[in-house]
Amino acid sequence: MKDAAQEEAAGPGGLAFLLVQLGLHGARQFGARLAPLGLEQRQAGMLLRLAAGQGRSQQAIAEMIGVNATRMVFLVDELEKLGLVERRRNPADRRSHALYLTSAGTATVDRVRAIAAEHEAALAAGLTAGERAQLTGLLRRIAAEQGLLPGGLPGSPPGNAVRGGPAAG
């Protein structure tokens, strides 16, 4: 027999349900905010991560964000076609490519950052600065306990799955 706390946790008032509900809502809203740039959320996320790791190999960035090699090639190809990213041969290892933002990519990153800040402010409008910091800290802790990479793209498997673990796919 379930007690009231178990029933609430399993229903619409529970943590897991609320996280899914808010996540989907936030993702839809963020997608709508990005639409005028002609970008999808995964592309915007990739640009932001790349901005923090320019000059690194494609493989190193894939590991940093928790994306398998095939998906990474696809994402970089898309961003390259949009003129936002370029691959350059690594002079130290001719078999690998280093990734760089183009000037259009850098300008787009600036716009994505502004949109992301606007989006976050709208999502957290009902919270004080202290509540927002506390919630962010708690969510980071939950994410870490679940094995999610701090800079990983949403939808990526936990960190160990990238290297061929059981959740890879």
Look at residue 165 and tell me whether its pLDDT is greater than 70.
no
**Does 43 fall in a domain?**
yes
pLDDT for 118-140, tens place per residue? 999 999 999 999 999 999 999 99
The whole-model pTM stands at 0.78
**Does 4 fall in a domain?**
no
When divided into structural domains, the chain yields a total of: 1
What is the structure's pLDDT at 60? 85
What is the structure's pLDDT at 166? 33
132: containing domain: 29-152
**Does 90 fall in a domain?**
yes
- We report the CATH number of the domain holding residue 141 as 1.10.10.10
Look at residue 6 and tell me whether its pLDDT is greater than 80.
no
Between CA 121 and CA 8 the distance in angstroms is 29
Between CA 150 and CA 40 the distance in angstroms is 20
pLDDT for 63-106, tens place per residue? 888 888 888 999 999 999 999 999 998 777 778 889 999 999 99
